Amino acid sequence: MAITTLDFPDNETTTFWVGTEEGNVYQANRYDRAGAKAGLNQYDVYRGHSGPVMGLHFHPLVGPVDFSDLFLTCSVDWTTKLWRAKSLTKPSTTAHSISPLYSFDEADDYVYDVKWHPAHPATFGTVDGSGKFDLWNLNIDTEVCLIHSFILMFVVYLTLSLGACCIYHRGNRTSHQQVTVGQEGR
């Protein structure tokens, strides 16, 4: 099995999820723990993509409501999927297929990366192979992204980083949002 991406949920150091070349996502364990063996859990298969999974990102653990069991994946099948991770305390012992909660189908090319906003619980961004950055706000719309912006032409591989920064000006604190999109290796 060829692994193409991985991510750890916040506050988790031994269990992580991996995206694979065949388009599936699996939970994996670094060590034997509480009835779960080290390695990939072959029984719980997150099926939804028809091409390699290029990005996987768990919801950050911030705010009064815990959404840390939600994660996003993106793929060369031109889609981004929203998933709910299965409970770590109940590993399956027989084959079980898990479907995505929702599919975002607005991309114009392979979707190379996806990231949740670090502070706003309903916002995430994607970048695709045509150089398009899409910003989604699930509180506003789930079918059409909030912002389309073309970043680069002739993009080989894009990675995405969403962050918040604060700028202090003459003693007044002004909050600004920052999006960083870059070409890997440059």
Block residue for tokens 């003693």: 171
Query: So what's the pLDDT on residue 49?
Result: 97
68 vs 35 pLDDT, higher one: 68
HSE, CB side, 13 Å, CA atoms: give it for residue 70. 18
Predicted confidence band at 146 (pLDDT cuts at 50, 70, 90)?
A: confident
* Alpha carbon distances (Å) from 41 to 33, 60, 72, 90, 102: 12, 23, 19, 12, 23
* Most confident by average pLDDT, 90-99, 136-145, 153-162, 166-175: 136-145
Round to whole Å and give the CA distance between 100 and 60.
19
Phi-psi region of 106 (alpha: psi -120 to 50; beta: other; left: phi over 0): alpha
Query: Residues 19-40: what's their mean pLDDT?
Result: 87
Res. 173: pLDDT tops 50:
no
- Of the candidates 49, 181, 57, the one whose C-alpha atom is nearest the C-alpha of residue 128 is 181
Give how many domains the chain has, as a whole number: 1
Query: Residues 48-63: what's their mean pLDDT?
Result: 93
Query: So what's the pLDDT on residue 156?
Result: 38
Containing structural domain, residue 177: 3-183
pTM higher than the cut 0.95: no
Res. 26: pLDDT tops 70:
yes
Res. 172: pLDDT tops 80:
no
CATH code of 133's domain:
2.130.10.10
* Alpha carbon distances (Å) from 76 to 12, 57, 80, 133, 178: 28, 16, 9, 15, 26
Arithmetic mean of pLDDT over the chain: 81
